[in-house]
Amino acid sequence: MDKLTSLLKRRGFIYQGSEIYGGLGGTWDYGPLGVELKNKLKQSWWKKFVQQRSNIYGIDASILMNKDVWVATGHVDNFSDPLVECSKCKKRFRVDQIEGSICPECEGELGDVRQFNMMFKTQVGSVEDSASTSYLRPETAQGIFVNFKNIIDSFHPEIPFGMAQIGKAFRNEITPRDFLFRAREFEQMEVEYFVTPESWEENFETWRKDIIEWLRSVGLTLDRLHEKEVDGDELAHYSKRTIDFEYDYPFGRKELLGLAYRTDFDLSRHAKMSGVNLEYFDQVNNDHFIPHVIEPSFGVDRLVLALLLDAYHEEDVAGESRVVMRLDKSIVPIQIAILPLMKKDGMSEYAKNIFKKLSNNFVCHYDETASIGKRYRRQDEIGTPYAITVDYDSLEDNTVTVRERDTMVQKRIPVDELQGYFEEQYKFLN
């Protein structure tokens, strides 16, 4: 894990938030390569679960919402963790993360258990009073539920149908830890899929299979993925059934994403609190009812971490150590690296011309610094599947060397065939 986090900072994937001021716990900034990877992951999810389906409607709801949304869902009263505070060093700890009554930091005595609400509270407007109170949303789901009626009125969908959203959520974690896994600011990809009460089991199973299929498509190692059926006592108050998809992280087997049957809890609560009718009218059966909900919920950052852990490999090549990031080609930050063998004799200009042409259709990176061997290693470390080398022969016969990341096999390809060659390598993305 330490080797991976060091590489991710060194190569521009992920940085500590506010680092020059000593950082801020539980916050992380994505660098140029990290944001490319994360965006490709989100685009793949959106394509699979929204664009390739005729009955899913995408939205982007506001982070700030009327405080009554969170009163209705129970977050204001119940979205909390039990914690204890050390009487000596004043540090706070979640109860489930410590043993006994002695502080693990300074051996001081721990106080009584108290509930700590994890929502970030803020004020809207110029006057600070109870009427101006709002919260940074702790989940993206409620932005979907409060827009349920808007989608019904605008699109008149037939049930089953879904609403999807990708967006930021915020939780004031007591002890953020394990790099990207438990942070105070994070991103979610969620679908709320509305079904008839009698069809939830069939739809639940369909979503379970679709989740696994998509995880495989972005390169997750399924041998490290485990389905945990959440027991009744551990179920969230709104859920009748939940599967936690857990992943074998270096710090233990932890939840990667969840699939929950939320019944009609959320829509019923919002209908009661707002006074707005949120029933669905089934014209075929002439029936009014509150739909039930299947919710697949993905944590973007947790999935990014899992994919990076899967991809990281160290190997011996001719007596030298090589670090290679074997990311799936569908989510790599850089698709093609373009490397002139030397800066002189027109090779740089030749290579830059190739960059100009290929970058219209592919994410390319131009690099002319250091020896060609070191540049290959740099591209291996960031997961670039293909590297083009321009050399003296290129200037004579208009061919270049194309090197493949995983096998390190090199082949000569005419420059005018590069576009077609890479279209074939990445055709699965279209």
To which residue do tokens 């982070």 refer? 63
Domain locations in the chain as residue ranges: 2-65+138-308, 334-429
Query: What would the two tokens of residue 13 be?
Result: 């994937």
CA–CA separation, 74 and 178 (whole Å): 28
Instruction: Tell me, letter by letter, the H, E, C secondary structure of 157-198.
Output: CCCCEEEEEEEEEECCCCCCECCCCECCEEEEEEEEEEECHH
Band (15; pLDDT cuts 50, 70, 90): very high
Please tell me if the domain spanning 2-65+138-308 has the same topology as the one spanning 334-429.
no
State pLDDT tens for residues 85-123: 888 888 888 787 788 888 988 989 998 888 878 899 999
Q: Is it true that domain 334-429 has CATH number 3.40.50.800?
A: yes
State pLDDT tens for residues 54-74: 999 999 999 999 999 999 999
Which SS3 state, helix, strand or coil, does residue 363 take? coil
| Residues flagged as binding site | 94, 139, 171-173, 181-190, 255-256, 295-302
CA–CA separation, 282 and 300 (whole Å): 35
| Share of residues in the chain with pLDDT > 90 (%) | 82
C-alpha separations of 329 from 186, 326, 334, 425, 426 in Å = 25, 9, 9, 9, 8
Nearest to 259 by CA among 181, 301, 204, 210: 204
Band (209; pLDDT cuts 50, 70, 90): very high
| Residues flagged as binding site for ATP | 171-173, 181-186, 255-256, 299-302
Predicted TM-score of the model (pTM)? 0.92
| Sign of the CA dihedral running 92, 94, 99, 100 | positive
State pLDDT tens for residues 148-182: 999 999 999 999 999 999 999 999 988 888 999 99
Region 2-65+138-308: CATH code: 3.30.930.10
Band (140; pLDDT cuts 50, 70, 90): very high
Q: Which residues on adjacent β-strands are paired with residue 299?
A: 188
C-alpha separations of 134 from 67, 121, 138, 267 in Å = 5, 6, 12, 21
Pair type for strands 28-30 and 14-16: antiparallel
Nearest to 123 by CA among 115, 113, 135: 135
Contact in structure between 36 and 334 (CB atoms under 8 Å): yes
| Residues flagged as binding site for substrate | 94, 139, 186-190, 295-299
Q: How many CB atoms lie within 10 A of CB 403?
A: 21
